[in-house]
Structure 1
């Protein structure tokens, strides 16, 4: 069975521990990069990462984008939602089904 981890600043991720996820608090983008490589090697199936950190680690995330595992999913941090996570999911769905299925209602 694959494990699930969350990478980000402590305040953004500590609540995920109550769900049984492995939390990996980091302070710098370099520390996050090393942790992301480590988790991928340890066969984590899903790695959640805060949007702010993922913006700093685009090279590492791109490395795993075409692979099945790990799935790297952006989540908002305590500083707010940038919309990058939703946009990433939208692009993935478009690739999978060949069409945009998320419609904005005005």
Structure 2
């Protein structure tokens, strides 16, 4: 069975522990990169990453973009929603179905 992990600053992710998810609080970009790579190499099924941290980890996340495992999903942090998470999901759906399902465009 695959694990699900949440990566980000502690204040943004601590609530996910109540759902039984593995939380991985990080305090620096270097620690975030190291933790993300460890999770990916451990075949973690889904890695939720705060949007702010995903911007810092863009290169590492892109390495796994076409992989089945891990699936990387951006979530808003306590600093707010940048829209990057929704945009990523929208692009994935467009690629899968060939159309923008929210606005009906091609």
TM, length-normalised to structure 2: 0.95
Matching residue of 2:70: 70
Structure 1's unaligned 5+ residue stretches are: none
SS in structure 2 at match of 1:68: coil
Distance in 2 between residues matched to 1:11 and 1:103, nearest whole Å:
34
Distance in 2 between residues matched to 1:102 and 1:35, nearest whole Å:
34
Matching residue of 1:87: 87
TM-fit CA distance, 1:103: 2.8
Structure 1 residue ranges, 4+ long, deviating more than 3 angstroms after superposition: none
What's the RMSD between the two structures over aligned residues?
1.1
User: Could you list the per-position Cα deviations for residues 16-65 of structure 1 after superposition, in whole angstroms to 9, with x for gaps in the alignment?
Assistant: 00000000000111111100100111111000000000001110010000
Distance in 2 between residues matched to 1:41 and 1:20, nearest whole Å:
21
TM, length-normalised to structure 1: 0.95
Distance in 1 between residues matched to 2:38 and 2:16, nearest whole Å:
19
